Structure 1
């Protein structure tokens, strides 16, 4: 597979495709049915927390699922799913300004957690790579580059005052101002994070997981990227916490452990997020906008397409 990953065969790609479509299918189940969401994001994790994860994600286990990051990421993702469901099924809450701070807040928190992890991996000083907490990592300037890219991505979160709930049966949380430049910059940053910090798991937790929320955003339900992302992330991390041997033993696809690959991936992430922030601040200055109150991209085709697809006119 060239620069990024060791080669994998037909079976390996078949498993990857299955993971991708399974995540998308469960996302649709949880998105389109209220009880599907309650079952997947409340009942299932409650049972797993009591009966399964204390064993499969115990501190120091051989698969690295017992780290602080895995536990924090699991519950922050679930908090996002449940919080969004409350907003979706009680749409009058969107009229309260403080409620609309929750979606960008939980998103920023999730990005910040990963930035801290990237910086932490740099402090390990394993310049030639090593297993730490049973995960292979290699410290380098890429950790700093991508940590900065993530912080820039947080700065570029905008337009949450325009969040509304769709009028159709699924009652999706629509965020029109979260248009494709931000989504692509996020995807590039998050892939670089997985490549840097959970390197040999990134074939699934990077490529498959990111596509599982990006594809629905562009082709199934436009404007609901954050909802898609929260659902697929929570589903994946619950799976990993439950079957931690999946990426290491059952269907491993390791990276090449090539420093050049790490550098290129994080450089692309950094450039994309610098460009995003520069473009956004250009629009803020040109149109004299307040990024804490105003939507930034309301005149763009991407924004208008989200409104049209969700039958909202402005």
Structure 2
């Protein structure tokens, strides 16, 4: 069997690897990325010609990044491994294991840097949820002797879906407004309502309706970013909080949620149930003089605009005539 030349072999491994691989110069300017990198980060190979590693690095990590690049370029370290959050083209944030090493020429001089990303977002999200559940269970176990434990839990969580209730979300929203004013970073609020939910209850019964709410909750948690939150706002309504994002970034996530529900099939006693949702979105730019009620009211108005114009839509408040 004829073996491939070494350069061809390296190229084949680079292009067919399932993990994201990119090379940069010592300043962090990308020189090459593989298809898996483009898929994971959202940029095309052509777009990376003007991209720097700083463009996918969160602001709070920039100083550390500069120090790492400097140490690698000067040969003080040859490689490093770390786990941290990175930013995709659409503004969404994900967790990844990073393997970073210096590339040397035949004279032993550093000529560039090799980055290998392993996306562990699902793993981190799962561990985060499991951690929260474990903490919650541990707390419950300690408080079993307290006759008010049921009331305490009801004060925070929706009993059917396990999501935070509207009062907890309002507290989170007020904190997000304060944070946005301090940092000048925008965020978005979305209200989703199940289209024609009454027909589901009338046709299949309230047990089926409850199952639909639970299945939608599971889908929401899979599609939102690790930095986002969702609560059961009431009845068949859910409220989303999309932290540190832009209008376009929020709408990308919202559309991903809407499409996932549109494609969802729920099996109930031999019946395949399909539902859709309409989502209204309002944006807070860090300078608006809006309180949480006004922000939610805007999202609610956008949602009803979507309902009146055909349902199964995602509508941004600022786009309403």
Q: Please, what TM-score do these two structures have when normalized by structure 2?
A: 0.28
Higher relative contact order (CA 8 A, sep 6+): 1
Q: Please, what TM-score do these two structures have when normalized by structure 1?
A: 0.29
Q: Which of the pair is proportionally richer in strand?
A: 2
Larger of the two Rg values belongs to structure:
2
Q: Which of the pair is proportionally richer in helix?
A: 1
